[in-house]
Amino acid sequence: MNWSEKHIEKLKAGGFIRGYSAPRKNAGQKLPPQKSKALIWLDLNILYWCNERLLSLEKEYQFDPERKWRFDYCITAHKIAIEYEGGIYLAKSGHNTAKGYTKDTEKYNRATVLGWRVIRVTASNYKTVLQQLNHLYGS
């Protein structure tokens, strides 16, 4: 099932989940840039997956203090990280250049050395993340 903000707010109001706040619209104020459909889906569905298993989900988790690298999403209790590779479809992005790709490989190699399992998804396959989480977590 794909979860919308409406579903999440009902579950939150009923005390079934924690850690999610719907974005608020302020009249007359400039809103921050909108998230992509994929990121909204990932935010809601990974959070729901974690809540079903009583796991904490962290966003922008800094896993290496020396290099200050961060994971997009992280389940620290099981050292599972999820990275959304959104920049690969942009004409100009640090992720789709030789230098950017090399930096990404350094980051993921370091994470592996530190014992992390990293799930990488794009705008084309982001919905597979739940299957991959189930495989890693054993459910």
Q: Enter the pTM of the model.
A: 0.72
pLDDT bracket for residue 1 (50, 70, 90): low
pLDDT bracket for residue 99 (50, 70, 90): confident
Whether the pLDDT of residue 139 is over 80: the answer is: no
pLDDT bracket for residue 86 (50, 70, 90): confident
pLDDT at 128: 95
What is the DSSP track for the chain? -PPPHHHHHHHHHTTS--S--PPPP-TTSPPPPPPPHHHHHHHHHHHHHHHHTT---EEEEEEETTTTEEEEEEEGGGTEEEEE-GGGGSSS-GGGSHHHHHHHHHHHHHHHHTT-EEEEE-TTTGGGHHHHHHHHHT-
Whether the pLDDT of residue 20 is over 80: the answer is: no
Domains of the chain: residue spans and CATH: 36-137 (3.40.960.10)
